[in-house]
Amino acid sequence: MNPNMKAIIFDVYGTLFDVYSITSKCEELYPGNGEKMSTLWRKKQLEYAFLCQLMDKYRSFLSITRSSLKYALNELQLLYNEESEKILLEAYKQLSPFPEVESVLQQLQNKKKLVVFSNGSHDMLEPLVKTSTLSPYIDDIISIDDVKQYKPTPASYLHALRTLGYEKEEILFVSSNGWDIIGATNFGFKTAWVNRKNLPLDELDTLPHFMFRDLSGMLK
């Protein structure tokens, strides 16, 4: 990695933590529906965040995560009550990190400043990060909730840049979400796409500077 890089910004959901690790909790509550449910929940969560941003009607990611959960349960015609909703939302604060993440962060620590930056609101991010094994390696938790502008808007990335206090060219932006990488590259960050699903590059003339299959590619 370029020695001029002083800080690394990591996206959270899908990049450090596996949003589909919630599948087992979904399966436990709704046997036979875990996978369909977690997939639809995530799909709607992203759609709702984008829609709220496009309509200029901000709602926190926690509120959006709750709404998209309800929608997913309705579409799959699964019954729920306050209790099951609470269990699932709590589980979203205990997602599992991807297997290689802790070791990679450990090796980068003390060499670079390591921060996370997410569409998640602090009431979701803090419990998730602080109770995880990754906590000792994370120097700061930055949320778009402070400016109420969702990624991939330029305003959201500007918030991360300002909070960090480094120059743009001193920062590497890391995400596994294609739309996040497009947004961050468009903003002017140096970007690394963690292409966990081995997908083709997007066709919006906004290419990431680096591409890895998982985070361990960053160490090479």
Residues noted as catalytic: 11
Minimum distance from residue 68 beta carbon to a second copy (Å): 7
Does 207 sit near a second copy (CB under 8 A)? no
**Kind plus residue range of the DSSP H or E element containing 181:** helix 178-187
Minimum distance from residue 141 beta carbon to a second copy (Å): 23
Q: Find the binding residues for a second copy in span 145-204 (CB under 8 A).
A: 150, 152-154, 179, 182-183, 186, 199-204
Minimum distance from residue 153 beta carbon to a second copy (Å): 5
Strand partners, 211: 193
Does 24 sit near a second copy (CB under 8 A)? no
Does 15 sit near a second copy (CB under 8 A)? no
Q: How far apart are the first and last CA of the chain?
A: 8
Residue 33 near residue 27, CB atoms below 8 Å? yes
Category of 43 on φ-ψ map: left (φ > 0), alpha (ψ -120 to 50) or beta: alpha
Q: How far is CA 87 from CA 25, 63, 123, in A?
A: 9, 15, 16
216: which residues sit within 8 A by CB, 6+ positions away?
A: 100, 103, 104
Among 28, 35, 75, 90, binds a second copy (CB under 8 A): 75
Of 55 and 79, CB closest to a second copy: 55
One-letter amino acid at 119 equals: N
Tokens of 60: 């926190």
Q: Which long-range contacts (CB under 8 A, 24 or more apart) does 52-57 make?
A: 52/150, 53/149, 53/150, 53/153
How many binding residues for a second copy (CB under 8 A)? 31
Of 87 and 199, CB closest to a second copy: 199
Cα(146)–Cα(191) distance, integer angstroms: 23
Minimum distance from residue 54 beta carbon to a second copy (Å): 5
Minimum distance from residue 156 beta carbon to a second copy (Å): 9
Among 3, 31, 32, 55, binds a second copy (CB under 8 A): 55
Of 54 and 87, CB closest to a second copy: 54
Does 51 sit near a second copy (CB under 8 A)? yes
List residues binding a second copy (CB under 8 A). Answer: 47-48, 50-57, 59, 67-68, 70-71, 74-75, 150, 152-154, 179, 182-183, 186, 199-204
